[in-house]
Structure 1
Amino acid sequence: MSGRIRIGERDRDKERIIVPSKKRSGMVAFSLFIFCSLILLVQPSYSSTQPPNLDPDSIDLLGDAHVVANNDAASHVRLTNPSPSSSGLLRRPEPLIFADATTTLSTEFSFSISGNGDGVLLVLTAASGNGSDTVAVEFDTSKDDNVGDPNSNHVGIDVGSHVSLAVANVSDVNLVLNNGEKLNAWVDYEAGSKGMEVRLSKWGEKKPSDPIVSLKIDFSKIWGGNPVYAGITASNGGHSVQVVSIYSWRLKLKKVSNGLHSLPVDPHGLSEDEHRRVCPLTVLAGVIFGTGCVALVTFVVLFMWVIFFQKGSEESLAKIPDHTSDVRYERIDVAVDRNAQDDES
């Protein structure tokens, strides 16, 4: 990433923040820097006990992030102000632990992005602030040819770098990130298949069955048992006046029992043993279906046999005469030779 960063001081509850001073640079790299710096250097400027539509756990709002209360609509969190060099972070205060290969992650949030800006990031990063141990999902509204961005309307998955390992054009699903429309995003990590999937839709619509972008990745190898912070962050460049708003955020971390196997993110990722494994319910369903087919075929055969046999019997009976008058009796006259009778006598 090109550009210069200077550290300044600003009085807001005696907090130390990062103030960007740059013409323009990659959204991802700068936002990662902001995120990690805020985690290490900043105490929350505002800690909401229960912002609307967010997780019941307390949420830390850092930098320019603040709750906007609407009289005619639900309150939401605004990450950035419509001014250059504005940056904000919505962070879960409790770290996540991916201690082993059975820990899965599911998170969902709704957001909107105005025009003239760089977008928003969902970030998972180690508490140490080491950028190489960072996984981010970028909803990028700027095009940087140096990192291979396809356009200024894409979603990418970044691991330890601002160069996306997997990227997708949001225009392919008829969505625009920065037109101010509310959107829903789902990010799922499945420990069993070591896969990460991102889904995107308009606000209020159901979760799409197909991800817009996915990546094979193993969280346990990246972080081990080290604490990991999750956050949503955005920042404006020198000429950006973009406003990023977060309307809801849910995050669930759970462990899958060794005796239970959830479906992998990649349906083609089943092992050969799993393909060969037979479910009793599947066998029972097959037996019932096969029995039904045999019974149906038997019924059809018997039905056809009865029809044709009855028809043949009726044709045979039709050949027998119905009236006795059709039977003719003929008189047989026997001629007796009288001379022969005389000889016998």
Structure 2
Amino acid sequence: MAPFLLSGYAIFLLLCFSALSMGSVDEKLPFSLSFEKFENDQRFGSEIALYGDAEVRNSTVLMFGKGRMMCRKPFRFFGTNPGFSTYFSFSISAGYGQNLAFLLVPSNISQEAEVNPRFLVVKLAATNAAGASSIAFDVGGAIPVKSSSLVLSSEEKLHSWIDYDGASKMIEVKISKSRDLKPEKSLASCPVDLSNALWREAMYVGISSSGEGASRTSNVYSWSFNVTHGAPYQMHSEPLNPDSVTVRSYEDPLLPMRRGSPWKIVVALFVGVIFGALLASAVFFLRSKVVKRHPVSPIEYESEKIDSDGFKAVDVAGK
């Protein structure tokens, strides 16, 4: 019985390691969201939510004044160095005061709050009437700003790439007039470590616009988002309302740890298997000791001679 138990535990342990290996491979597969254009169809409605002064028109998302487009399902990140990359083509109406921003918003936000989410915001803004622009990185309330000579508010279609490298801990922004010519040098960059926050929290992604007056518009023509280590996080609740949310800074020590981590489950199974194997080995060892201490030996009886008339004397075992 004990050898059978040991064999069963060994097989179970092997299956656990196989599941761990398959899980690690799946975690390395990138997850991507991609819209080459926007059509007001079933796919768009199931994946993207529009808020405020935002609508779909002529295969484009138009945002008048304050508007926002958000992915309905948050993404979960894995690994010690999670990263992401997003691309979108856009244009901003002439004038100043209009801006466009890429957002990362934790999924554990309070829907009853009355302030805008603030975890990661990369904002492209026109700062004056001449069209001079700035790029702002807002990470948990800290806002480093980089000036740029690129004119954003000329109603010209531009292409933007925002990349976060989890290994180098760097966000980079690149903008070009052609999608086929992604610049090698970034227009602006910001060193920041998002690994801890990305690992602990599932994140919503989105693009928002703000400006003065309904005559100013921001247009988004296409959008893609890629996670280097992650998968869509399934939720049964309604998507967040970005006009009524609050977000804690990722450095907040009260931020809860992610529940249901696959590593924790595998470690718990591994400890259980090892404990069971040790227990079975101990039982087998004690049983073998008891058998050696009390061996089973044959019982010998004395022989007795029985005489009978007409027969020879024979030996009969026992009395």
Give the TM-score taking structure 2 as reference length: 0.52
Counterpart in 2 of 1:288? none
Query: Within 1, Cα distance between the matches of 2:117 and 2:50?
Result: 24
Contact 2:82 2:198 (8 Å CA) reproduced: no
Distance in 1, matches of 2:226 and 2:84, equals 6
What residue is the counterpart of 2:42 in the other structure? Answer: 49
Q: Residue type of the partner of 1:196?
A: I
The answer to whether the aligner puts 1:245 opposite 2:219 as a matched pair is yes
Alpha-carbon distance in structure 2 between the residues aligned to 1:60 and 1:247: 16
* Contact 1:59 1:93 (C-alpha < 8 Å) held by counterparts: yes
Q: Structure 1 residues 131, 193: CA separation in 2 closer, same or farther (over 3 Å shift)?
A: farther
Q: What letter matches 2:220 in structure 1?
A: I
Equivalence for 1:194:
169
If asked which structure has higher relative contact order (CA below 8 Å, sep 6+), I would say 2
1:227 aligns with 2:202: yes
Corresponding letter in the other structure for 1:110:
S
- Determine which structure has the larger strand proportion and give its number: 2
- Whole-Å Cα distance in 1 between the matches of residues 125 and 80 of structure 2? 30
Shift of residue 65 of structure 1?
1.3
Residue from 179, 182, 201 that aligns with 1:207: 182
Q: How far apart are 1:142 and its partner, in Å?
A: 2.7
The CA deviation at 1:134 is: 1.0
Using structure 1 for the length normalisation, give the TM-score. Answer: 0.48
Q: 1:115 aligns with which of 94, 115, 124?
A: 94
Partners of 2:158 and 2:53 lie apart in 1 by 22
Distance 1:47 1:105 in 2: 27
| 1:164 and 2:143 aligned | yes
Shift of 1:226: 1.3
Closer, same or farther: CA 206–57 of 1 in aligned 2, 3 Å: farther
Unaligned runs of 5+ in 1: 1-45, 70-74, 81-85, 144-150, 257-345
CA shift, 1:131, in A, is 6.3
Secondary structure, counterpart of 1:79 in structure 2: strand
The equivalent of 1:78 in structure 2 is: 62
Task: Using the TM superposition, give the Cα deviation of residue 236 of structure 1 relative to its aligned residue in structure 2, in angstroms.
Answer: 2.7
Judged with a 3 Å threshold, the aligned counterparts in structure 2 of structure 1 residues 166 and 142 are, in CA distance, closer, same or farther, namely closer
Counterpart secondary structure, 1:248? strand
Q: For the aligned residues, what is the CA RMSD?
A: 2.7
- Aligned equivalents of 2:133, 2:176: Cα separation in 1: 14
What is the identity percentage for the equivalent residue pairs of Structure 1 and Structure 2? 29
* 1:283-294 equivalence runs, <5 A: none
- Asked if residue 91 in structure 1 is aligned to residue 76 in structure 2, the reply is no
Cα gap change, 1:96 to 1:180, in 2 (>3 Å)? same
CA–CA distance in 2 between the matches of 1:203 and 1:64? 28
CA distance in 2: counterparts of 1:255 and 1:228, whole angstroms: 13
Question: Residue 119 of structure 2 is aligned with which of 118, 134, 146?
Answer: 134
Q: Is structure 2 residue 51 aligned with structure 1 residue 62?
A: yes
The 8 Å contact of residues 90 and 233 in structure 1, kept in 2 or not, is answered as yes
How far the C-alpha of 1:196 sits from its partner, in A, is 1.0
Q: Distance in 2 between matches of 1:101 and 1:166?
A: 28
Does the 8 A contact of 1:131 with 1:160 survive in 2? no
Secondary structure of the residue aligned to 2:197 is: helix
Question: Aligned letter for 1:230?
Answer: V
Partners of 1:102 and 1:220 lie apart in 2 by 6
* Residues 100-109 or 128-137, more deviating: 128-137
For 1:61, the aligned partner's letter is L
Q: Contact 1:47 / 1:58 at 8 angstroms: preserved in 2?
A: no
| 1:255 to 2:229 alignment | yes
Instruction: Give the distance between the partners of 2:118 and 2:51, measured in 1 at CA.
Output: 21
Greater alpha carbon shift after TM alignment, 193-202 vs 132-141: 132-141
Aligned to 2:21: none
Q: CA deviation at 1:48?
A: 4.4
Equivalent residue of 1:230, what SS?
A: strand
SS of structure 2 residue aligned to 1:207 = coil
Aligned residues: 184
d(CA) in 2 for partners of 1:176 and 1:152? Answer: 5
Q: Residues 126 and 133 of structure 1 are in contact (CA less than 8 Å); yes or no, is this contact kept in structure 2?
A: no
